[in-house]
Amino acid sequence: MNNILISSATLISPGHPNNGQIVDILIEKGNISKVSKKIAVENTKIQVIDAKGAVVSPGFFDLNANFGEPGLETKEDINTGTAAAAAGGFTGVAVHPNTNPAVHSRSEVALIVNSAKGNLVDVHPIGAVSKKREGNELAELYDMQTKGAIAFCDGNHSVQQAGLMARALLYSKGFDGLIISFAEDESIAGGNQMNEGEMSTYLGMKGNPNLAESLMVARDLFLAEYNEAPIHFTTISTAESVDLIKKAKAKGLKVTCDVAAHHLVLTDSEVADFDSNYKVTPPLRTKKDIKALLKGLKDGVVDAVVSQHTPHEIEFKNVEFHIAKPGIIGLQTVLPFLVRAGLDAETIVDKLAIQPRQIVNKEVPTLLEGTQANLTIFSTEDKWVFNADTNRSKAANSPLFGQELKGKIIAVINNGQLIKN
Protein backbone atom coordinates (compact mmCIF):
# COMPACT_ATOMS: atom_id res chain seq x y z
CA MET A 1 0.00 0.00 0.00
CA ASN A 2 1.31 3.45 -0.94
CA ASN A 3 1.42 6.21 1.63
CA ILE A 4 -1.99 7.84 1.82
CA LEU A 5 -3.32 11.30 2.67
CA ILE A 6 -6.99 11.46 3.61
CA SER A 7 -8.00 15.04 2.97
CA SER A 8 -10.76 17.14 4.63
CA ALA A 9 -12.65 14.35 6.42
CA THR A 10 -14.88 14.83 9.45
CA LEU A 11 -13.28 12.63 12.11
CA ILE A 12 -15.70 10.76 14.39
CA SER A 13 -13.92 8.75 17.05
CA PRO A 14 -15.02 9.17 20.68
CA GLY A 15 -12.10 10.18 22.90
CA HIS A 16 -9.96 11.43 20.02
CA PRO A 17 -8.65 14.99 20.54
CA ASN A 18 -9.91 15.91 17.05
CA ASN A 19 -13.31 14.21 17.41
CA GLY A 20 -15.93 16.08 15.37
CA GLN A 21 -13.35 18.19 13.51
CA ILE A 22 -12.46 18.32 9.83
CA VAL A 23 -8.92 16.98 9.52
CA ASP A 24 -6.27 15.52 7.23
CA ILE A 25 -4.84 12.11 8.10
CA LEU A 26 -1.46 10.94 6.83
CA ILE A 27 -0.93 7.16 6.71
CA GLU A 28 2.58 5.82 6.15
CA LYS A 29 3.41 2.12 5.94
CA GLY A 30 -0.04 1.25 7.24
CA ASN A 31 0.24 3.44 10.34
CA ILE A 32 -1.30 6.82 11.13
CA SER A 33 1.68 9.20 11.28
CA LYS A 34 -0.11 12.53 11.52
CA VAL A 35 -3.59 13.93 12.21
CA SER A 36 -3.95 17.66 11.69
CA LYS A 37 -6.33 20.28 10.35
CA LYS A 38 -4.08 20.68 7.31
CA ILE A 39 -1.17 18.53 6.18
CA ALA A 40 1.06 19.77 3.37
CA VAL A 41 2.91 17.06 1.46
CA GLU A 42 5.43 17.44 -1.33
CA ASN A 43 5.85 13.73 -2.09
CA THR A 44 4.05 13.12 -5.37
CA LYS A 45 3.91 9.38 -4.65
CA ILE A 46 1.42 9.89 -1.82
CA GLN A 47 -2.07 8.80 -2.78
CA VAL A 48 -4.64 11.46 -1.89
CA ILE A 49 -8.22 10.53 -0.99
CA ASP A 50 -10.49 13.56 -1.14
CA ALA A 51 -12.94 13.03 1.74
CA LYS A 52 -14.57 16.45 1.75
CA GLY A 53 -18.10 16.09 3.12
CA ALA A 54 -17.36 12.54 4.25
CA VAL A 55 -16.70 10.94 7.63
CA VAL A 56 -13.63 8.98 8.74
CA SER A 57 -14.17 6.64 11.68
CA PRO A 58 -12.80 3.45 13.21
CA GLY A 59 -13.47 0.56 10.83
CA PHE A 60 -16.93 -0.98 11.10
CA PHE A 61 -17.27 -4.36 12.85
CA ASP A 62 -20.13 -6.79 12.10
CA LEU A 63 -21.27 -9.14 14.86
CA ASN A 64 -23.47 -11.31 12.64
CA ALA A 65 -22.40 -12.42 9.17
CA ASN A 66 -22.72 -15.78 7.44
CA PHE A 67 -20.04 -17.06 5.07
CA GLY A 68 -20.39 -20.56 3.64
CA GLU A 69 -16.89 -21.76 4.41
CA PRO A 70 -16.43 -24.58 5.36
CA GLY A 71 -18.71 -26.72 3.23
CA LEU A 72 -21.11 -24.20 1.72
CA GLU A 73 -18.71 -22.23 -0.44
CA THR A 74 -21.26 -22.06 -3.28
CA LYS A 75 -23.16 -19.57 -1.11
CA GLU A 76 -20.13 -17.53 -0.04
CA ASP A 77 -16.48 -18.20 0.66
CA ILE A 78 -14.12 -16.16 2.79
CA ASN A 79 -12.69 -14.27 -0.20
CA THR A 80 -16.05 -13.11 -1.55
CA GLY A 81 -17.47 -12.58 1.93
CA THR A 82 -14.62 -10.31 2.96
CA ALA A 83 -14.85 -8.47 -0.36
CA ALA A 84 -18.52 -7.73 0.38
CA ALA A 85 -17.60 -6.74 3.94
CA ALA A 86 -14.93 -4.29 2.78
CA ALA A 87 -17.33 -2.80 0.23
CA GLY A 88 -19.78 -2.30 3.10
CA GLY A 89 -17.22 -0.51 5.26
CA PHE A 90 -16.38 -3.41 7.58
CA THR A 91 -12.79 -4.07 8.61
CA GLY A 92 -13.86 -6.85 10.97
CA VAL A 93 -16.60 -9.49 10.87
CA ALA A 94 -17.76 -12.18 13.26
CA VAL A 95 -18.92 -15.17 11.22
CA HIS A 96 -21.62 -17.44 12.60
CA PRO A 97 -21.37 -21.25 12.56
CA ASN A 98 -24.11 -21.85 9.97
CA THR A 99 -21.78 -24.03 7.90
CA ASN A 100 -21.43 -27.69 6.96
CA PRO A 101 -19.79 -29.00 9.07
CA ALA A 102 -20.84 -26.55 11.75
CA VAL A 103 -18.07 -24.61 13.48
CA HIS A 104 -18.28 -26.76 16.63
CA SER A 105 -14.67 -27.74 17.33
CA ARG A 106 -11.17 -26.27 17.25
CA SER A 107 -10.61 -27.70 13.75
CA GLU A 108 -13.26 -25.57 12.05
CA VAL A 109 -12.23 -22.49 14.02
CA ALA A 110 -8.59 -22.94 13.03
CA LEU A 111 -9.59 -23.47 9.38
CA ILE A 112 -11.42 -20.15 9.25
CA VAL A 113 -8.69 -18.24 11.09
CA ASN A 114 -5.95 -19.62 8.82
CA SER A 115 -7.96 -19.14 5.62
CA ALA A 116 -8.59 -15.48 6.44
CA LYS A 117 -4.97 -14.57 7.24
CA GLY A 118 -3.53 -11.67 5.28
CA ASN A 119 -6.95 -10.20 4.48
CA LEU A 120 -7.85 -6.55 4.86
CA VAL A 121 -10.94 -7.68 6.79
CA ASP A 122 -10.30 -9.41 10.14
CA VAL A 123 -12.47 -12.55 10.31
CA HIS A 124 -13.45 -13.80 13.76
CA PRO A 125 -15.23 -17.19 14.07
CA ILE A 126 -18.16 -17.65 16.41
CA GLY A 127 -18.27 -21.24 17.62
CA ALA A 128 -21.43 -23.30 18.03
CA VAL A 129 -22.93 -23.72 21.49
CA SER A 130 -23.95 -27.31 20.76
CA LYS A 131 -22.38 -30.09 18.71
CA LYS A 132 -23.54 -29.91 15.08
CA ARG A 133 -25.82 -27.03 16.22
CA GLU A 134 -28.38 -29.73 17.11
CA GLY A 135 -29.08 -28.39 20.59
CA ASN A 136 -28.44 -31.67 22.40
CA GLU A 137 -24.85 -31.69 23.65
CA LEU A 138 -22.48 -28.89 24.61
CA ALA A 139 -19.73 -28.25 22.06
CA GLU A 140 -16.03 -27.79 22.86
CA LEU A 141 -16.35 -24.15 23.89
CA TYR A 142 -13.03 -23.58 25.64
CA ASP A 143 -11.08 -25.48 22.96
CA MET A 144 -12.63 -23.25 20.30
CA GLN A 145 -11.78 -20.10 22.22
CA THR A 146 -8.10 -21.11 22.42
CA LYS A 147 -8.04 -21.28 18.60
CA GLY A 148 -9.74 -17.93 18.03
CA ALA A 149 -13.49 -18.20 18.62
CA ILE A 150 -14.67 -14.87 20.09
CA ALA A 151 -18.13 -16.01 21.24
CA PHE A 152 -20.59 -18.92 20.98
CA CYS A 153 -23.96 -19.20 19.28
CA ASP A 154 -25.93 -21.86 17.42
CA GLY A 155 -26.35 -19.42 14.55
CA ASN A 156 -29.88 -19.37 13.15
CA HIS A 157 -30.85 -22.27 15.44
CA SER A 158 -32.15 -21.20 18.82
CA VAL A 159 -31.09 -23.37 21.76
CA GLN A 160 -34.42 -24.93 22.75
CA GLN A 161 -33.25 -26.81 25.85
CA ALA A 162 -33.14 -24.50 28.85
CA GLY A 163 -30.78 -26.87 30.68
CA LEU A 164 -28.25 -26.82 27.83
CA MET A 165 -28.36 -23.02 27.64
CA ALA A 166 -27.88 -22.79 31.41
CA ARG A 167 -24.84 -25.09 31.28
CA ALA A 168 -23.37 -23.09 28.38
CA LEU A 169 -23.75 -19.84 30.32
CA LEU A 170 -22.24 -21.29 33.48
CA TYR A 171 -19.34 -23.04 31.72
CA SER A 172 -18.38 -20.12 29.46
CA LYS A 173 -18.37 -17.74 32.42
CA GLY A 174 -15.41 -19.67 33.80
CA PHE A 175 -13.13 -18.58 30.95
CA ASP A 176 -14.74 -15.20 30.14
CA GLY A 177 -16.60 -16.61 27.14
CA LEU A 178 -19.72 -14.96 25.74
CA ILE A 179 -22.92 -16.80 24.82
CA ILE A 180 -24.98 -15.26 22.02
CA SER A 181 -28.69 -16.08 21.95
CA PHE A 182 -30.76 -16.17 18.78
CA ALA A 183 -34.13 -15.98 20.51
CA GLU A 184 -36.94 -18.01 18.98
CA ASP A 185 -39.20 -20.55 20.65
CA GLU A 186 -39.70 -23.03 17.82
CA SER A 187 -42.83 -24.51 19.37
CA ILE A 188 -44.45 -21.05 19.13
CA ALA A 189 -42.87 -19.95 15.84
CA GLY A 190 -43.95 -23.22 14.25
CA GLY A 191 -41.78 -22.81 11.18
CA ASN A 192 -44.15 -20.13 9.90
CA GLN A 193 -43.16 -17.85 7.06
CA MET A 194 -43.84 -14.26 8.15
CA ASN A 195 -44.85 -12.05 11.05
CA GLU A 196 -48.20 -12.80 12.67
CA GLY A 197 -50.48 -9.79 12.25
CA GLU A 198 -52.88 -8.04 9.93
CA MET A 199 -50.73 -8.71 6.85
CA SER A 200 -50.43 -12.46 7.51
CA THR A 201 -54.21 -12.63 7.97
CA TYR A 202 -54.74 -10.66 4.75
CA LEU A 203 -52.40 -12.94 2.81
CA GLY A 204 -53.76 -16.12 4.37
CA MET A 205 -50.35 -17.16 5.70
CA LYS A 206 -49.58 -18.65 9.10
CA GLY A 207 -47.73 -16.14 11.22
CA ASN A 208 -44.73 -16.17 13.54
CA PRO A 209 -45.80 -14.05 16.54
CA ASN A 210 -43.69 -11.64 18.57
CA LEU A 211 -44.26 -14.02 21.47
CA ALA A 212 -41.94 -16.62 19.91
CA GLU A 213 -39.04 -14.19 20.33
CA SER A 214 -39.93 -12.45 23.60
CA LEU A 215 -40.65 -15.75 25.36
CA MET A 216 -37.11 -16.94 24.60
CA VAL A 217 -35.58 -13.58 25.51
CA ALA A 218 -37.33 -13.79 28.88
CA ARG A 219 -36.13 -17.37 29.43
CA ASP A 220 -32.52 -16.60 28.60
CA LEU A 221 -32.52 -13.48 30.76
CA PHE A 222 -33.67 -15.62 33.70
CA LEU A 223 -30.93 -18.17 32.97
CA ALA A 224 -28.24 -15.48 32.66
CA GLU A 225 -29.35 -13.91 35.94
CA TYR A 226 -29.43 -17.27 37.73
CA ASN A 227 -25.92 -18.15 36.56
CA GLU A 228 -24.61 -14.58 36.94
CA ALA A 229 -23.29 -14.81 33.38
CA PRO A 230 -23.15 -12.28 30.52
CA ILE A 231 -25.39 -12.83 27.50
CA HIS A 232 -25.82 -11.17 24.12
CA PHE A 233 -29.02 -11.32 22.04
CA THR A 234 -28.60 -11.11 18.28
CA THR A 235 -31.12 -9.74 15.76
CA ILE A 236 -33.92 -8.89 18.16
CA SER A 237 -36.94 -7.65 16.23
CA THR A 238 -39.83 -6.89 18.59
CA ALA A 239 -40.97 -4.13 20.92
CA GLU A 240 -41.43 -6.70 23.68
CA SER A 241 -37.78 -7.81 23.44
CA VAL A 242 -36.58 -4.22 23.73
CA ASP A 243 -38.70 -3.75 26.85
CA LEU A 244 -37.47 -6.97 28.47
CA ILE A 245 -33.81 -6.13 27.82
CA LYS A 246 -34.29 -2.56 29.05
CA LYS A 247 -35.66 -3.86 32.35
CA ALA A 248 -32.83 -6.43 32.63
CA LYS A 249 -30.20 -3.72 32.13
CA ALA A 250 -31.90 -1.58 34.78
CA LYS A 251 -31.56 -4.54 37.19
CA GLY A 252 -27.84 -4.68 36.50
CA LEU A 253 -27.72 -7.84 34.35
CA LYS A 254 -24.74 -8.15 31.98
CA VAL A 255 -26.86 -8.15 28.84
CA THR A 256 -26.29 -6.64 25.40
CA CYS A 257 -28.20 -6.94 22.13
CA ASP A 258 -28.10 -6.08 18.46
CA VAL A 259 -30.60 -5.54 15.67
CA ALA A 260 -30.30 -6.32 11.95
CA ALA A 261 -30.22 -3.18 9.79
CA HIS A 262 -33.16 -4.32 7.65
CA HIS A 263 -35.39 -4.65 10.73
CA LEU A 264 -35.04 -0.89 11.26
CA VAL A 265 -36.62 -0.04 7.90
CA LEU A 266 -38.66 -2.88 6.34
CA THR A 267 -42.05 -4.05 7.63
CA ASP A 268 -44.20 -7.12 7.03
CA SER A 269 -46.21 -5.14 4.47
CA GLU A 270 -43.29 -5.70 2.05
CA VAL A 271 -44.34 -9.37 1.84
CA ALA A 272 -47.59 -8.48 0.05
CA ASP A 273 -46.09 -9.33 -3.37
CA PHE A 274 -44.59 -12.61 -2.10
CA ASP A 275 -41.06 -11.51 -3.03
CA SER A 276 -38.86 -14.09 -1.30
CA ASN A 277 -36.10 -11.50 -0.88
CA TYR A 278 -38.19 -10.10 1.96
CA LYS A 279 -38.22 -13.45 3.74
CA VAL A 280 -35.90 -13.28 6.73
CA THR A 281 -35.65 -14.78 10.20
CA PRO A 282 -36.77 -13.31 12.51
CA PRO A 283 -39.47 -12.10 10.10
CA LEU A 284 -40.04 -8.47 9.21
CA ARG A 285 -42.27 -7.00 11.90
CA THR A 286 -44.51 -3.91 12.15
CA LYS A 287 -44.04 -0.13 12.30
CA LYS A 288 -44.66 -0.35 16.06
CA ASP A 289 -41.71 -2.73 16.43
CA ILE A 290 -39.47 -0.53 14.25
CA LYS A 291 -40.34 2.49 16.39
CA ALA A 292 -39.40 0.56 19.54
CA LEU A 293 -36.11 -0.67 18.01
CA LEU A 294 -35.10 2.83 16.92
CA LYS A 295 -35.97 4.22 20.36
CA GLY A 296 -33.92 1.37 21.87
CA LEU A 297 -30.94 2.41 19.75
CA LYS A 298 -31.30 6.03 20.84
CA ASP A 299 -31.71 5.14 24.52
CA GLY A 300 -28.79 2.69 24.59
CA VAL A 301 -30.92 -0.41 25.11
CA VAL A 302 -29.91 -1.75 21.69
CA ASP A 303 -26.12 -1.76 21.61
CA ALA A 304 -25.22 -2.55 18.01
CA VAL A 305 -26.46 -2.99 14.45
CA VAL A 306 -25.54 -6.05 12.35
CA SER A 307 -25.84 -7.07 8.72
CA GLN A 308 -27.11 -10.63 9.30
CA HIS A 309 -25.54 -11.26 5.87
CA THR A 310 -27.11 -14.54 4.66
CA PRO A 311 -26.25 -15.43 1.06
CA HIS A 312 -28.17 -18.10 -0.90
CA GLU A 313 -27.91 -19.59 -4.36
CA ILE A 314 -30.65 -18.56 -6.76
CA GLU A 315 -32.39 -21.93 -6.52
CA PHE A 316 -33.12 -21.29 -2.85
CA LYS A 317 -34.66 -17.84 -3.39
CA ASN A 318 -36.19 -17.76 -6.86
CA VAL A 319 -39.00 -20.08 -5.74
CA GLU A 320 -42.40 -19.80 -4.08
CA PHE A 321 -42.29 -17.75 -0.87
CA HIS A 322 -43.26 -20.58 1.45
CA ILE A 323 -40.38 -22.85 0.36
CA ALA A 324 -37.71 -20.15 -0.08
CA LYS A 325 -34.82 -20.02 2.38
CA PRO A 326 -34.86 -17.01 4.72
CA GLY A 327 -32.13 -14.40 4.59
CA ILE A 328 -30.69 -11.52 2.58
CA ILE A 329 -27.18 -10.37 1.72
CA GLY A 330 -26.63 -7.38 3.98
CA LEU A 331 -22.97 -6.44 4.30
CA GLN A 332 -23.06 -3.79 1.57
CA THR A 333 -26.43 -2.32 2.51
CA VAL A 334 -26.10 -1.72 6.27
CA LEU A 335 -25.09 1.92 5.84
CA PRO A 336 -27.91 2.74 3.36
CA PHE A 337 -30.45 1.09 5.68
CA LEU A 338 -29.22 3.17 8.64
CA VAL A 339 -29.29 6.37 6.59
CA ARG A 340 -32.85 5.54 5.52
CA ALA A 341 -33.75 4.87 9.16
CA GLY A 342 -32.62 8.41 10.04
CA LEU A 343 -29.53 7.64 12.14
CA ASP A 344 -26.89 10.38 12.29
CA ALA A 345 -23.20 9.76 11.64
CA GLU A 346 -22.26 9.69 15.34
CA THR A 347 -24.85 7.00 16.08
CA ILE A 348 -23.80 5.00 13.01
CA VAL A 349 -20.18 4.98 14.20
CA ASP A 350 -21.19 4.03 17.73
CA LYS A 351 -23.43 1.15 16.65
CA LEU A 352 -21.20 -0.17 13.83
CA ALA A 353 -17.64 0.46 15.03
CA ILE A 354 -17.41 1.11 18.76
CA GLN A 355 -19.95 -0.99 20.63
CA PRO A 356 -19.73 -4.17 18.51
CA ARG A 357 -16.05 -4.48 19.46
CA GLN A 358 -16.74 -3.70 23.11
CA ILE A 359 -19.33 -6.49 23.27
CA VAL A 360 -16.75 -9.11 22.24
CA ASN A 361 -13.80 -7.46 24.04
CA LYS A 362 -11.94 -6.43 20.91
CA GLU A 363 -9.76 -3.32 20.91
CA VAL A 364 -11.45 -0.32 19.32
CA PRO A 365 -9.22 1.49 16.79
CA THR A 366 -8.41 4.95 18.16
CA LEU A 367 -7.17 6.72 15.00
CA LEU A 368 -4.43 8.28 17.14
CA GLU A 369 -1.01 9.10 15.74
CA GLY A 370 1.34 6.12 15.92
CA THR A 371 -1.42 3.48 15.75
CA GLN A 372 -2.19 1.07 12.93
CA ALA A 373 -4.72 2.48 10.51
CA ASN A 374 -8.03 0.64 10.86
CA LEU A 375 -10.67 2.98 9.48
CA THR A 376 -13.67 3.52 7.27
CA ILE A 377 -14.42 6.57 5.13
CA PHE A 378 -18.13 6.99 4.36
CA SER A 379 -20.70 9.51 3.20
CA THR A 380 -24.30 9.69 4.39
CA GLU A 381 -25.20 11.84 1.35
CA ASP A 382 -23.56 10.18 -1.66
CA LYS A 383 -25.64 7.78 -3.74
CA TRP A 384 -24.79 4.58 -5.60
CA VAL A 385 -26.60 1.74 -7.37
CA PHE A 386 -26.54 -1.76 -5.88
CA ASN A 387 -26.40 -4.10 -8.88
CA ALA A 388 -24.34 -6.85 -10.50
CA ASP A 389 -21.47 -4.40 -11.12
CA THR A 390 -21.20 -3.18 -7.52
CA ASN A 391 -22.18 -6.39 -5.69
CA ARG A 392 -19.16 -8.21 -4.23
CA SER A 393 -21.02 -11.22 -2.83
CA LYS A 394 -21.50 -14.49 -4.70
CA ALA A 395 -25.23 -14.15 -4.03
CA ALA A 396 -27.77 -11.54 -5.09
CA ASN A 397 -30.65 -12.19 -2.66
CA SER A 398 -31.37 -8.64 -1.55
CA PRO A 399 -34.61 -6.65 -1.77
CA LEU A 400 -32.45 -3.60 -2.57
CA PHE A 401 -30.83 -5.15 -5.64
CA GLY A 402 -31.09 -2.82 -8.63
CA GLN A 403 -31.96 0.24 -6.52
CA GLU A 404 -30.18 3.56 -6.07
CA LEU A 405 -29.13 3.83 -2.42
CA LYS A 406 -28.13 6.80 -0.28
CA GLY A 407 -25.14 6.21 1.98
CA LYS A 408 -21.85 5.20 0.41
CA ILE A 409 -18.59 3.67 1.59
CA ILE A 410 -15.70 5.55 0.00
CA ALA A 411 -12.77 3.47 1.28
CA VAL A 412 -11.54 1.16 4.03
CA ILE A 413 -8.01 0.75 5.35
CA ASN A 414 -6.74 -2.05 7.60
CA ASN A 415 -3.74 -4.37 7.92
CA GLY A 416 -1.70 -2.14 5.63
CA GLN A 417 -4.23 -2.49 2.81
CA LEU A 418 -6.60 -0.07 1.07
CA ILE A 419 -9.83 -0.84 -0.79
CA LYS A 420 -11.66 2.02 -2.53
CA ASN A 421 -15.17 1.90 -3.91
pLDDT digits (tens, 9 = 90+) for 260-311: 999 999 999 999 999 999 999 999 999 999 999 999 999 999 999 999 999 9
Task: Describe the strand order of the beta sheet including 60-65 as a list of residue ranges.
Answer: 60-65, 90-95, 122-125
pLDDT for residue 220 is more than 90:
yes
Residue 37 three-state SS: coil
Contact 221, 231 (CB under 8 A): yes
- CATH number for the segment(s) 59-359: 3.20.20.140
CATH superfamily to which 4-56+368-393+401-420 belongs: Urease, subunit C, domain 1 (2.30.40.10)
- Band of residue 180 on the pLDDT scale cut at 50, 70, 90: very high
Instruction: Summarize pLDDT for 326-361 with one digit per residue, the tens.
Output: 999 999 999 999 999 999 999 999 999 999 999 999
pLDDT for residue 159: 97
The tens digit of pLDDT for each residue in 360-418 reads 999 999 999 999 999 999 999 999 999 999 999 999 999 999 999 999 999 999 999 99
Domain boundaries, the chain: 4-56+368-393+401-420, 59-359
Is the pLDDT at 193 greater than 90? The verdict is no
The per-residue pLDDT for 354 is 98
Angle CA 11–15–21, to nearest 5: 30
Between residues 84 and 44, the one the model is more confident about = 84
What's the pLDDT band for 41 if we cut at 50, 70, 90? confident
DSSP string, 105-133: SHHHHHHHHHHTTT-SSEEEE-B-SBGGG
Mean pLDDT of the chain: 97
pTM over 0.85: yes
At 44, is the pLDDT very low, low, confident or very high (cuts 50, 70, 90)? confident
